[in-house]
């Protein structure tokens, strides 16, 4: 039986797609009660209620280490003292500056760049917590 190119490609792509799906699913892990709640790349909330914020900016005298966590605290309706900072790892796609497009701090643009994404991150986390309650 002669197989034409189109039928061969359909069969090959179908087989490859199903193999990728079947190979990927066993690697999925169930959520663990021991792990902190991490709704996005910027926040984790521990079982003790401490919010850890991944800080994509550095402090250069503009109050970034206070103002950006305040955005998170306001959205989550927690005290500012409950928010801890952790510096972001080098990951431009996750933590790149929304104005400059690179992972950097400068131009007095940290709060301008953080205002919307941090508010959205805090609001999304709050909505997930409320929905789960």
Share of the chain above pLDDT 70, in %: 74
Buried b (16+ CB within 10 A) or exposed e, 65-86: eeebbebbbebbebeeeebeee
Query: Which segment of 10-19, 41-50, 82-91 scores lowest on mean pLDDT?
Result: 10-19
**CA 71 to CA 121: how far, in whole Å?**
10
**CA 96 to CA 55: how far, in whole Å?**
11
Rg (CA), the chain: 21
pLDDT score for 70: 94
Rounded to two decimals, the pTM is 0.65
Phi, psi of 99 (to 5 degrees): -90, -45
pLDDT band for position 83 (50/70/90)? very high
Domains of the chain are 43-132 (3.30.365.10)
pLDDT score for 74: 95
Whether 19 has a pLDDT exceeding 90, the answer reads no
């Amino acid at each position: 039986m002669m197989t034409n190119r189109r039928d061969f490609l359909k069969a090959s792509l179908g087989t490859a797609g199903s193999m990728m799906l079947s190979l990927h699913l066993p690697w999925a892990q169930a959520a663990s009660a021991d792990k902190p709640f991490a709704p996005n790349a910027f926040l984790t909330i521990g079982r003790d209620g401490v919010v850890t914020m991944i800080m994509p900016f550095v402090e250069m005298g503009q109050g970034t280490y206070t103002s950006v966590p305040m955005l998170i605290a306001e959205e989550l309706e927690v005290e500012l003292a409950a928010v801890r900072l952790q510096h972001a790892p080098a990951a431009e796609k996750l933590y790149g500056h929304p104005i400059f497009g690179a992972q950097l701090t400068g131009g007095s643009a940290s709060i301008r760049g953080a205002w919307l994404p941090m508010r959205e991150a805090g609001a999304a986390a709050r909505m997930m917590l409320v929905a789960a309650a």
